[in-house]
Amino acid sequence: MGYNVAIDGPAGAGKSTIAKLVAKEKGYIYVDTGALYRGLAVHFLDMGVSPEDRTGIIGAVKSADVTIQYEDGAQQVYLNGKNITARLRDEAVGNMASMSSAIPEVRAHLLALQQNMAREKDVIMDGRDIGTCVLPDADVKVFLTAGVKTRAKRRYDELTQKGVACDLAEIEKDIRDRDERDMTRETAPLKQAKDAVLIDSSHMSIEEVAAAIVALCK
């Protein structure tokens, strides 16, 4: 039985960055949901299914087994036992992943894959509904958040460092709007699980947040 850590929280809270640090420190597998969707996309393309063929995708997904492993510190994605990592960034794969990920049957299959991985391996996952829906029995649950202004400033700094022109007030509005959508959506809304530990990272460094979560783990 795997040891499971679930990190939920709003956009810009630093979930993925923190999860990767904790995974490295503890030797867990960080489950990258986007990579799993791309892995399924490779399967659909190999089966000769087009992105517009909804029926074909629903039929093909049943025979796909996608897993993530870390080898020499690097994430590797396997499809039915074969390493397909080198193919994940192909444009055709990205297009297929974008279209197929909206299909409920694909999302349900991915949920099953995530839960199977969690049963077999020590994993850490981050998202909006990990502790409430994907891994309701996780050993450690964290709700990671930060003030809207803090999250907006982090995003602003990230973009400006890349040379991207942006407006702080507009970023703040986008984050507020996204929070509202995430918390009020009908399917798996963003909310803190009853047994999750609340961590507000507004005045904490990345290293401090990671250390706090590591301290919660076995």
pLDDT tens, position by position, 43-92: 999 999 999 999 999 999 999 999 998 888 788 999 999 999 999 989 99
User: pLDDT tens digits, residue range 105-133?
Assistant: 998 999 999 999 999 999 999 988 899 99
- The proportion of the chain whose per-residue pLDDT surpasses 90, expressed as a percent, equals 79
- Mean pLDDT for the chain? 93
Asked if the model's pLDDT at residue 189 lies above 80, the reply is yes
pLDDT reported for residue 169: 96
d(CA 204, CA 158): 17
Q: How far is CA 29 from the centre of its chain?
A: 12
Q: How far is CA 158 from the centre of its chain?
A: 19
